[in-house]
Structure 1
Amino acid sequence: MRPRLLITVMVAACLGAGALLAQDAPRLRGPEPFTQEQAAPPMQRAVTNDVRVRRNYPDQPPLIPHAVEGYALDLNANKCMSCHARRFTEQSQAPMISVTHYQDREGNTLGGLAPRRYACMACHVPQTEARPLVENRFIDMDVLTEPERHPGGRSNR
């Protein structure tokens, strides 16, 4: 086959495959094409019951079980620290932030909050009552390793 004809056939095959894949791709935005502007959906109600949520894996940052709308978080103020700093936890009954938040990258203890841990909501997120966009099929490790202790769990055995 001539090189020019071969390239043309390959391009046509790629375009055809791309069109097929695009038709079967799941849509997360809704029925309207992404090129048409649409009104944003209403914000879902925040979970504000102040009940600590169990972590799904080791070292998972704790979830925020209260409303955070309007919290100041800039160079001059960090609203989170008004309850979660060690000196305020007795009065607020909020859990104290981890000692790791007072360490630099090398593990050295600092006199104050580490700059890399200052933006709390970069890791800690509030929860809402929103319906998931995609089904969650997460299986906790305890269920996988000890299915007899967790009814309804699955095992890979």
Structure 2
Amino acid sequence: MPVDARAIFIPGGSEIDPLRRGVPVDKEGHPPPMARVENTDISRVRNYPMQPPTIPHTIDGYQVDLNSNRCMLCHARANAATFQAPPVSVTHYMDRDDQFLATISPRRYFCNQCHVVQTDAPTLVANGFKDIDTVMALPAPPGGH
């Protein structure tokens, strides 16, 4: 049964349309096209200290589950030179008590908790982020310290 658009009251409804993109509520919308994954194998500059690096290649079909972690084939410290891949940080081999482990720490095992691929998606929200070096280089406001 179709929804009667007149039965839905949204104050100022013409101004509130972040998800429907102009499609009336009684019509089926079409999703925007999926953004393509950048597959450049070029590391991006990080925006702030301790930012996890982004993944500069596609990971479609990579198995990362309880039984296997495809990322470690190339990025494990023992294999990184062979595959010319950056090795994971030594912190990924430490447990919560800062003791070094022979293999990747279980708390760092699922890479996509922190690392993401980059896409060619358009910027949806303007970003005014400034790293600490940029902020520190700005002149002090008048009367400020």
Q: Does 1:144 align with 2:107?
A: no
In terms of Rg, which structure is larger? Answer: 1
Gaps of 5+ in 2: 1-9
Using the TM superposition, give the Cα deviation of residue 107 of structure 1 relative to its aligned residue in structure 2, in angstroms: 1.5
Distance 1:80-1:29 versus aligned 2 partners, 3 A rule: farther
Instruction: Report the counterpart of residue 45 of structure 1 in structure 2.
Output: 36
Instruction: Report the counterpart of residue 13 of structure 1 in structure 2.
Output: none
Tell me how far apart the structure 1 counterparts of residues 27 and 136 of structure 2 sit (CA, whole Å): 48
Tell me how far apart the structure 1 counterparts of residues 70 and 133 of structure 2 sit (CA, whole Å): 36
Q: Does the CA contact (< 8 Å) of 1:144 and 1:156 recur in 2?
A: no
Q: Does 1:94 align with 2:52?
A: no
Using the TM superposition, give the Cα deviation of residue 94 of structure 1 relative to its aligned residue in structure 2, in angstroms: 0.6
Q: 110, 115, 133: which is aligned to 1:119?
A: 110
Gaps of 5+ in 1: 1-17, 148-154
Which amino acid in 1 is paired with 2:84?
Q
Tell me how far apart the structure 1 counterparts of residues 85 and 15 of structure 2 sit (CA, whole Å): 47
| Greater length-normalized contact order (CA 8 Å, ≥ 6 residues apart) | 2
Distance 1:65-1:27 versus aligned 2 partners, 3 A rule: same
Tell me how far apart the structure 2 counterparts of residues 115 and 34 of structure 1 sit (CA, whole Å): 45
Which amino acid in 2 is paired with 1:115?
P
Instruction: Report the counterpart of residue 57 of structure 1 in structure 2.
Output: 48
Tell me how far apart the structure 2 counterparts of residues 35 and 145 of structure 1 sit (CA, whole Å): 52
1:122-137 equivalences in 2 (<5 Å): 122-137=113-128
Distance 1:58-1:35 versus aligned 2 partners, 3 A rule: farther
Tell me how far apart the structure 2 counterparts of residues 143 and 28 of structure 1 sit (CA, whole Å): 34
Distance 1:41-1:23 versus aligned 2 partners, 3 A rule: closer
Q: Does the CA contact (< 8 Å) of 1:46 and 1:67 recur in 2?
A: yes
Cα-to-partner distance string for 1:20-58 (whole Å, 9 max, x where unaligned): 5x6655615522257854333221111111111111111
Give the stretch that moved more between structures: 102-111 or 29-38: 29-38
Q: Structure 2-normalised TM-score? A: 0.78
Give the stretch that moved more between structures: 67-76 or 38-47: 38-47
Which amino acid in 2 is paired with 1:139?
K
